[in-house]
Amino acid sequence: MLPDATVVRLGHRQQRDKRITSHLGLTARALGAQHFVLCGDQDQNVLDTLDDVTNNFGGNFNSEHQSKPMKWLKRFANDGGQIIHLTMYGQPYEEITPEIPKDSPIAIVVGGAKVPGEIYKIANFNVSVGNQPHSEVAALALFMAEYMGGVAGSEHFSDAKLEIKPHPSGKVVIDHTEDSDTS
């Protein structure tokens, strides 16, 4: 079973970040997170996009908006969760990821416009994916692949309506709703 992982997106700006925040949520789901917490602007379009994909492609992934991320994170830590903050200033992910527990829930925090300094202090691990500024989606993908032990481990999604079968030269999609119609 995959570890219990939540991705927390800080400081979302509805107009400027709508695509990248959706991509962040989709990446979280595809690589094995179960929850997505959107902070900053309340943006129902992002939450609906994630719900639509989960509805079609399966899995137990849910998302919510939180207006007070620090409060949410402190409660998460009080309940025994580990906070992982992705930041170019942190410790190299290849070295530190093996030390992150897999038997307690983790919240993976990625920044937006401005990251409050307090995050660095409440994080159990400040983790870098290289020490250059780049993309939150790239940082999340590389960290999660390392933490989850690759992408393949998360590839089975329960109750999928649509399932993609890898194919060398075309698109193969199994529509399980058609299966149930014909049975």
Joined tokens for residue 178: 């058609």
CB-based closest residue to ligand SAM: 111
| Smallest separation (angstroms) from ligand SAM to the CB of 142 | 8
HSE-up (13 A, CA, CB side) for residue 117? 0
12, 40 Cβ separation under 8 angstroms: yes
- Minimum separation from the CB atom of position 55 to ligand SAM (A): 28
Q: Kindly list the residues in this chain that would bind ligand SAM in the complex (CB under 6 A).
A: 86-88, 110-111, 114-115, 128-130, 132-136, 139
Residue number with CB closer to ligand SAM (132 or 177): 132
Min dist CB 9 to ligand SAM, Å, is: 9
Yes or no: say if 21 and 46 are a contact pair by the CB < 8 Å rule: yes
Taking the least distance from each CB to ligand SAM, the nearer of 47 and 86 is 86
- If the CB atoms of residues 82 and 128 are measured against ligand SAM, the closer one turns out to be 128
As given in the structure block, the two tokens for residue 183 are 């049975």
Q: Is the Cβ of residue 81 or residue 161 nearer to ligand SAM in the bound state? A: 81
Does residue 157 contact residue 59 with C-beta atoms inside 8 Å? Answer: yes
- Residue 25 CB, nearest approach to ligand SAM (Å): 14
